[in-house]
């Protein structure tokens, strides 16, 4: 089911949680809404679900204007972080619940509902657990049952709000991989909310990065990571160093030292560099100079911080064998970077 969101806005008692959001989701896509707390991800998801209604704008499901339709009319399945299963019902009854409360005319027989529940338990890889109760399942198993329950109504769209947020890191990673496989098998148009950039970049076909009730960028993991549309996106999806530079005649100068070339027009800019895109320069060669204030191992790399005279700390991620101890004076150069308007400063970067 294609979903088309146009100029969507949502106000709560005068507070604008969403501003003029437009987004096209293609049938069968797995889309992540990614952003910090309060950026409007859940509000957008709830508007798509029909749990809230827009203050302005429209939501279309295919050709149909769904903006003011109820959750049932939209036929969406959803799973929340803490969408508790009914404790007093068996797993099979939980999964069949949505079907068993349908009006008589469209309600399947009890036998049919049991058959569907068993099929869905196979699909979410919990075969034979239908007679258990939620308390007899692990957290990860419960979320898989919640997904089976969402799928039971044969939804046109599957909406997930931090579905694995309450689980520990290992189970979370397993379920991520599992959700991707499940999606590839069933092909449901799926929108999920997360504030975890790894989860979004690993799982989604396209990521929607949100900040302060607006969409900052929509793109593949590669687009978001390698071609960030704004300083916010660059900083949100990885660590970054931000340095004031001047572009003049195609050269990028940092406090008088030329670091590289650009086709940008002349003027002040902010240079955004990832820690692993900085390299050491040999003695005396031009670079960004500073004193090593921290050096530690991290997996297969060395993380070094240098204190610059004018611009605070810069973080480098170097190969494990790279030299440099606390107190050494070293200089570095960026291999790759992004230039943004000079107004972008550390203060704008998300924490
Ligand atoms: P989180 O990751 O913390 O869930 P989020 O990106 O999903 O954050 P939303 O829950 O969409 O953000 O909230 C966006 C803004 O709207 C927040 O400032 C929030 O306080 C506000 N908001 C959301 N729902 C309501 C409501 N029912 N009444 C008033 N304000 C609300």
- Coil, helix or strand for 38? coil
Residue 88 falls within a domain, yes or no? yes
| pLDDT for res 83 | 62
Residue 307 falls within a domain, yes or no? yes
Q: Which of 116, 82, 81 has the alpha carbon at shortest distance from 97?
A: 116
Structurally, the chain folds into a number of domains equal to: 2
> For residue range 43-99, what is the model confidence (pLDDT) as tens digits?
999 999 999 999 999 999 999 999 999 988 999 998 887 767 899 999 999 999 988
Q: Is residue 194 lining ligand 1, measured as CB closer than 6 Å?
A: no
| Pair of tokens at residue 133 | 């109760």
The verdict on 208 and 260 lying in the same domain is no
Residue 348 scores a pLDDT above 50: no
Of 182, 198, 230, the one marking the end of a domain is 230
Of 181, 211, 230, the one marking the end of a domain is 230
Q: Is residue 82 lining ligand 1, measured as CB closer than 6 Å?
A: no
Ligand 1 atom closest to Cα of 10?
16
Contact 77, 71 (CB under 8 A): no
Ligand 1 atom closest to Cα of 210?
6
Q: Exposed e or buried b for every residue in 51-82, given b needs 16+ CB within 10 A?
A: bbebeebebbbeeeebbeeeeeebbbbbbbbe
Residue 140 scores a pLDDT above 90: no
The verdict on 255 and 217 lying in the same domain is no
Q: Stretch 207-226: mean pLDDT, rounded?
A: 95
Query: Which residue's CA is the nearest one to ligand 1's atom 19?
Result: 38
The verdict on 254 and 127 lying in the same domain is no
Lowest mean pLDDT of 23-27, 169-173, 312-316, name the range: 169-173
The verdict on 215 and 337 lying in the same domain is no
Q: Is residue 333 lining ligand 1, measured as CB closer than 6 Å?
A: no
Q: Stretch 105-124: mean pLDDT, rounded?
A: 91
The verdict on 304 and 263 lying in the same domain is yes
| pLDDT for res 285 | 82
The verdict on 105 and 225 lying in the same domain is yes
Secondary element (H or E) of residue 205: none
Q: Is residue 274 lining ligand 1, measured as CB closer than 6 Å?
A: no
Of 188, 211, 230, the one marking the end of a domain is 230
Q: Stretch 111-123: mean pLDDT, rounded?
A: 92
Residue 350 falls within a domain, yes or no? no
The verdict on 107 and 180 lying in the same domain is yes
Beta strands in the chain (DSSP E): 3-12, 15-25, 30-34, 56-61, 64-65, 76-80, 157-161, 189-194, 206-211, 214-219, 241-248, 251-254, 257-261, 267-273, 278-280, 288-298, 301-308, 312-319, 329-334, 338-341
The whole domain housing 298 covers 239-344
Q: Choose between 61 and 168: higher pLDDT.
A: 61
The verdict on 226 and 244 lying in the same domain is no
The verdict on 285 and 332 lying in the same domain is yes
Q: Is residue 38 lining ligand 1, measured as CB closer than 6 Å?
A: yes
Residue 301 falls within a domain, yes or no? yes
* Burial class of residue 196 in the structure, from the number of CB atoms within 10 Å of its CB (0-12 exposed, 13-18 middle, 19+ buried): middle
| pLDDT for res 331 | 94
* DSSP labels, 171-183: HHHHHHHHHHHHH
The verdict on 25 and 171 lying in the same domain is yes
Residue 197 falls within a domain, yes or no? yes
The verdict on 12 and 152 lying in the same domain is yes
Q: Choose between 222 and 165: higher pLDDT.
A: 222
Q: How far is the CA of 274 from the centre of ligand 1 (A)?
A: 31
197: domain CATH number is 3.40.50.300
262: domain CATH number is 2.40.50.140
pLDDT, mean over the chain: 91
Residue 351 falls within a domain, yes or no? no
> Which region, left, alpha or beta, applies to residue 75 given φ > 0 means left and ψ of -120 to 50 means alpha?
left
Query: Which residue's CA is the nearest one to ligand 1's atom 16?
Result: 17
Residue 120 falls within a domain, yes or no? yes
User: Per-residue confidence at 342, pLDDT binned at 50, 70, 90?
Assistant: confident
Q: Is residue 43 lining ligand 1, measured as CB closer than 6 Å?
A: yes
The verdict on 102 and 178 lying in the same domain is yes
Query: Which residue's CA is the nearest one to ligand 1's atom 31?
Result: 12
Q: Choose between 93 and 124: higher pLDDT.
A: 93
User: Per-residue confidence at 261, pLDDT binned at 50, 70, 90?
Assistant: very high
> For residue range 294-339, what is the model confidence (pLDDT) as tens digits?
999 988 899 999 999 999 999 999 999 988 899 999 999 999 999 9
Ligand 1 atom closest to Cα of 45?
11
Residue 176 falls within a domain, yes or no? yes
Looking at this predicted complex, what is its ipTM?
A: 0.95
């Amino acid at each position: 089911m294609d979903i088309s969101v146009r100029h969507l806005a949502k106000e709560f008692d005068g507070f604008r949680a969403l501003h003029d959001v437009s987004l096209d989701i293609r049938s069968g896509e797995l889309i992540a809404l990614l952003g910090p707390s309060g950026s409007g991800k859940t509000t957008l998801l709830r508007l798509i679900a029909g749990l809230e209604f827009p203050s302005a704008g429209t939501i279309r499901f295919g050709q149909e204007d769904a903006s003011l339709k109820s959750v049932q009319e939209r036929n969406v399945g959803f799973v929340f972080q803490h969408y508790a299963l009914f404790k007093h019902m068996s797993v099979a009854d939980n999964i069949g619940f949505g079907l068993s409360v349908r009006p008589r005319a469209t309600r399947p027989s009890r036998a049919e509902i049991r058959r569907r529940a068993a099929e869905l338990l196979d699909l979410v890889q919990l075969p034979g657990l239908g007679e258990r109760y939620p308390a007899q399942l692990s957290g990860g198993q419960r979320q898989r049952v919640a997904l089976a329950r969402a799928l039971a109504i044969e939804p046109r769209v599957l909406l997930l709000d931090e579905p694995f947020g309450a689980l520990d890191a290992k189970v979370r990673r397993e379920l991520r991989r599992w959700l991707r496989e499940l999606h590839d098998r069933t092909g449901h148009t799926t929108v999920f909310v997360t504030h975890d950039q790894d989860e979004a970049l690993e799982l989604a076909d396209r990521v929607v990065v949100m900040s302060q009730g607006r969409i900052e960028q929509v793109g593949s993991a590669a687009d978001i990571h390698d071609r960030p549309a704004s300083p916010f996106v660059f900083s949100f999806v990885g660590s970054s160093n931000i340095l004031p530079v001047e572009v003049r005649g195609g050269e990028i100068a940092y406090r008088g030292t030329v670091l590289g070339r650009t086709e940008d027009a002349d003027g002040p800019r902010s240079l955004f560099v990832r820690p692993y895109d900085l390299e050491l320069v040999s003695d005396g060669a031009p670079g960004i100079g500073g004193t090593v204030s921290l050096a530690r191992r991290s997996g297969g790399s060395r993380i070094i911080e240098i204190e610059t005279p004018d611009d605070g700390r810069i973080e480098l991620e170097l190969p494990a064998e790279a030299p440099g101890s606390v107190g050494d004076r070293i200089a570095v150069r960026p291999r790759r970077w992004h230039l943004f308007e000079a107004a972008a400063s550390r203060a704008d970067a998300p924490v």
